[in-house]
Structure 1
Amino acid sequence: MKLLILAAGMGTRLKPLTDDKPKVLTELNGKTLLQRQLDTAHEAGVHDVVLIGGYLADQLRGFGAELVINEDYATTNMVQSLFCARSHFGNDFIMSYGDIVYGRAVLDNLLESQEQVAVVVDSRWRFYWEQRFEDPLSDAESLQMDEQNRISSIGQKVRDISEIEAQYIGLVRFQRNGVRQLCRSYDSACEEKTGVDDMYMTDLLQAMASEPVGLAPVLIDGNWLEIDSVSDLELAERLLRQGRLH
């Protein structure tokens, strides 16, 4: 079991805080986003961590994790960063966005899942989004499940709140068959030249949703934070003091 943390981004919406450091080294109430993730992982028994860096990646050394560098971080997206670490996938790994923090219970729920592709989604997303955005629909993306309780739509633009049953948080576990399907879907996109460099992670997950392995939701009720902007950081500091994570 490995934890792969995507930490290559420049964090432009967090400037000037990210002028001289990677986004994951932004401090949240005195502790960096990266250290918060590492602490949660270690508490849950996950000690094999790989960081995929890019922007100012040398600052990510010395955290007790292996560092893989996406040299093309400025012109590629998360999918390419993830596949820079393809040799580390093995038969069981967790992928985490670097700009989120989550409570121990969230990771425990994911570790308990036996699904081949387990996607953490927040069913109480609207309460959080209404605090983050004047118009929650301006940033929210689709998340719908079918009658088999498999995710049928993820990360698509929405017109109506009814298209959102939960919200993807950026945390996914891939086990043996899920790893294989992830790689097949990526390789197919490369062969079709469908703009893999610009592909969002949700685009790849959406492609996987129609495959036999499918995507299984791991439902949570809050207990996580995303730090994508200065206003996000200010909100997260306040929510953390109120006991948002547990």
Structure 2
Amino acid sequence: MENKIQKPKAIILAAGEGTRLRPYTLDRPKCLVEVEGKSLLDRQLAVLATERVTEVALIGGYKAEMLKRDGISLHLNPRYYETNMVWTLFCAEPSLEGGALLCYGDIVYSRQALQALLAAPGDIAVTIDLDWEVYWRARNEDPLDDAETLKLAADGRILEIGQKPKSLAEIEGQYMGLIKLSALGARQLRQVFHESSAQGSLRGKPPEKAYMTDLLQAMIDLGYRLDSVPVRGGWVEVDTVSDLESEVTRARLSEIESGL
């Protein structure tokens, strides 16, 4: 088991247009939307820096020129307007070599969540929030809105992820958009992607349209082990205008910042 990333590095997926955040994303990428004067990207980079994760690759698309920063490599998904997360990731495929953290650009997580992920054994480790329901109820009238299934084995292995739930019982935790791949895990992920691309289908979708959870579930279906890294809260997703303007978002971000 290759459970260590020799030199921690992060790949941040930040190519999307953020249409559900308009008008705030009319002039900037989603990850540069600010809460109390500080962008989501800057907040995430500050957390990564606490654990010396300073090698960062950003994958941009929409208004990508605004993502240029000293010391950070910028990769482009020129088809950002018609593709999803998996395609964006593989626009920077060489960055996966040796393993990496995969992070969504519209999330911020606590230092404690990052520490738990970095310490997790296993070649593919996926952070999940056990206290997701409280957070989802604060964001949606119906907690099943925008939630996804997540089923676990007794030993923490993920059995199902990313499907549309019919009941709360199908959600044992919520996927956060934060993954750790060892060198072996990264090779396995790449192999499944390329095999699916050759077939023209990733769980019934064109690879260009696949979500990250589609790729993770495809790996589970093929017998690869994905380990959950459970946390309780300590993260924020800013996906909509109501998220951005929410006092819950501000409170959770303040708590994250106080722990740095």
Partners in 1 of 2:36 and 2:223 — Cα distance?
A: 43
Structure 2 unmatched runs, 5+: 1-7
The CA RMSD measured in Å over matched residues stands at 1.3
2:214 aligned partner: 203
Name 2:3's counterpart in structure 1.
Answer: none
Cα contact 2:235–2:252 (8 A) shared by 1: no
Question: What amino acid does structure 2 have at the position aligned with 1:72?
Answer: R
Distance change (3 Å), C-alpha of 1:165 and 1:241: closer
- Secondary structure of the residue aligned to 2:121 is coil
Cα distance per residue 1:89-138 (max 9 Å; x no partner) = 12220000000001111111111112100000000000000000000112
Alpha-carbon separation, structure 1, partners of 2:160 and 2:146: 16
Alignment of 1:2-151 (within 5 A): 2-151=9-158
State how far apart, in whole Å, the 2-side matches of 1:53 and 1:241 are: 24
Q: Distance in 2 between matches of 1:45 and 1:244?
A: 17
What is the rounded CA distance, in whole Å, between the counterparts of 1:60 and 1:238 in structure 2? Answer: 24
1:159 counterpart residue number = 166
Q: Are the aligned partners of 2:108 and 2:253 in contact in 1 as well (CA < 8 Å)?
A: no
3-state DSSP class of the match of 1:115? coil
Q: Secondary structure at the match of 2:233?
A: coil
Please report how far the alpha carbon of residue 212 of structure 1 lies from its aligned counterpart in structure 2 after TM superposition. 4.1
Amino acid at match of 1:77: N
2:251 to 236, 239, 243: 239
Is it true that 1:223 corresponds to 2:230 in the alignment?
Answer: no
Shift of 1:241: 6.6
Question: Would the aligned equivalents of 1:141 and 1:154 in 2 still touch at CA under 8 Å?
Answer: yes
- Greater shift, 144-153 or 108-117, is seen at 144-153
* Contact 1:3 1:93 survives alignment (8 Å): yes
Q: Across the two proteins, how many residue pairs are aligned to each other?
A: 246
- The residue type paired with residue 218 of structure 2 is A
Gaps of 5+ in 1: none
- Structure 1, residues 66-98: CA drift from partner, whole Å, max 9, x if none? 000001101111100000110111222000000
Contact 1:29 / 1:237 at 8 angstroms: preserved in 2?
A: no
1:28/1:153 Cα in 2 relative to 1: closer, same or farther (>3 Å)?
same
In the TM superposition, residue 191 of structure 1 has moved relative to its aligned partner by 1.2
Question: For each residue in 1:183-240, what CA deviation from the matched residue of structure 2 results, as whole angstroms up to 9, or x when unmatched?
Answer: 1110121011110010011000001113443110000000000000010112244323
Residues 8 and 241 from structure 1, CA distance in 2 versus in 1: closer, same or farther, beyond 3 angstroms?
closer
Matched residues in 2 for 1:240 and 1:59: separation?
26
Q: Relative to 1, partners in 2 of residues 1:162 and 1:241: Cα closer, same or farther, differing over 3 Å?
A: closer
2-structure distance, mates of 1:103, 1:219: 13
Q: Is the 8 A contact 1:110 1:173 kept in 2?
A: yes
CA gap of 1:36–1:17, structure 2 versus 1, over 3 A, is same
Identify if the C-alpha distance between structure 1 residues 241 and 202 changes in structure 2 by more than 3 Å, giving closer, same or farther: closer
